[in-house]
């Protein structure tokens, strides 16, 4: 039986339900009340009552028909949703001192899962604390009048699928030159958890070494293919070369589910290279997760 046939059967079962006299009277009274309310210049919305009514109807159908229950079992559950808005904006333009700042602080909200809502609250607190820290630093610099200084903090959603959500916070500090950093906040919608890099692998697995080795291979390949690609590796100053990622290295999952490791500007390459990203081979990740 295909999905369309299942849904049609569910519809037919629902239409066979006989509403008890008291329930029918209550429905009729509700309709009359709705007509009366519609004449008043007040708009009301009762999502809880609508949801309760929907649940009651489905429960009634399931109790009446095992076949209908089978059809419902094949219908996807409510999607776990993460939304984002700008919580506040901090802006400063002090032309006489050449100081400018533009800080957008996002706030996430979630529905569909209590754990997801808790994780969103944790991320919101971290993002707000980071923004406050950067603003305080900017204001200290402005008080000291140490020269040209610009601060820009912006956000965007880089991944939002049924299973995963990633918020990116980009910070650009401008003094003698600019420096860009990126922070990522990852949510696994299947578990509702706020995910760090270590959470992707079994405890005790040396993911740091394996991923670092893979990145080093990619660096060499990129430099061999394009002379404009330069990374701090195999140089005359080995103490400054890339050694390995941090245990809590910045990362995100792209729309295809691939693991992307991200470095800040100047971490592993000259400034003109921006914030380098490396997609780790899926087979490498699979091997780590099976250990």
What are the pLDDT digits (tens) for 157-214?
Answer: 999 999 999 999 999 998 867 899 999 999 999 999 999 999 999 999 999 999 999 9
Assess whether pLDDT exceeds 70 at residue 76: no
pTM reported for the whole predicted model: 0.72
Class of domain 79-195: alpha beta
How many angstroms separate the CA atoms of 156 and 179, rounded? Answer: 18
Write the class of the CATH domain 197-291.
Answer: alpha beta
Which carries the bigger pLDDT value, residue 246 or residue 63?
246
pLDDT at 9 (0 to 100): 56
Any idea where the domains of the chain sit in the sequence? 3-73, 79-195, 197-291
Q: In this predicted model, what pLDDT tens digit does every residue of 126-166 receive, in sequence order? A: 999 999 999 999 999 888 877 778 999 999 999 999 999 99
Backbone dihedral angles phi then psi of residue 143, each to the nearest 5 degrees: -65, -35
Nearest to 246 by CA among 259, 230, 233, 262: 262
Q: Which tokens is 114 given?
A: 């209590």
| Residues β-bridged to residue 183 | 169
Q: Are both 79-195 and 197-291 of the same fold? A: no
Min mean pLDDT across 45-49, 172-176, 283-287 is at 45-49
């Amino acid at each position: 039986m295909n999905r369309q046939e299942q849904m049609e059967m569910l519809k037919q079962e629902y239409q066979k339900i006989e509403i008890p006299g008291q329930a029918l009277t209550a429905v009729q009274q509700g309709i009359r009340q709705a007509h009366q309310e519609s004449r008043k210049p007040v708009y009301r919305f009762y999502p809880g009552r609508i949801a309760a009514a929907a649940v009651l109807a489905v429960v009634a159908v399931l109790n009446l028909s095992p076949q209908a229950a089978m059809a419902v079992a094949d219908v996807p559950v409510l999607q776990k949703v993460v939304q984002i808005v700008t919580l506040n904006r901090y802006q400063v333009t002090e032309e006489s001192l050449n100081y400018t700042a533009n800080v957008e602080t996002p706030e996430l909200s979630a529905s569909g899962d209590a754990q997801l809502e808790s994780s969103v609250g944790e991320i919101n607190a971290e993002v707000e604390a980071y923004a406050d820290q950067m603003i305080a630093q900017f204001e200290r610099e402005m008080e000291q009048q140490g020269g040209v200084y610009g601060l820009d903090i912006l956000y965007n959603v880089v991944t939002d699928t049924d299973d995963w959500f990633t918020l990116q916070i980009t910070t650009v500090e401008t003094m003698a030159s600019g420096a860009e950093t990126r922070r990522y906040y990852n949510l696994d919608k299947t578990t509702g958890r706020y995910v760090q890099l270590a959470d992707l692998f079994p405890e005790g697995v040396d993911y740091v070494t394996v991923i670092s080795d893979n990145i080093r291979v990619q660096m060499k390949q990129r430099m061999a293919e394009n002379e404009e690609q330069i990374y701090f590796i195999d140089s005359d100053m080995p103490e400054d070369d890339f050694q390995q990622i941090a245990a809590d290295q910045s990362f995100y999952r792209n729309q295809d589910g691939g693991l992307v490791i991200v470095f800040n500007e100047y971490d592993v390459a000259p400034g003109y290279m921006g914030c380098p990203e490396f997609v780790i081979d899926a087979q490498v990740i699979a091997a780590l997760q099976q250990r």
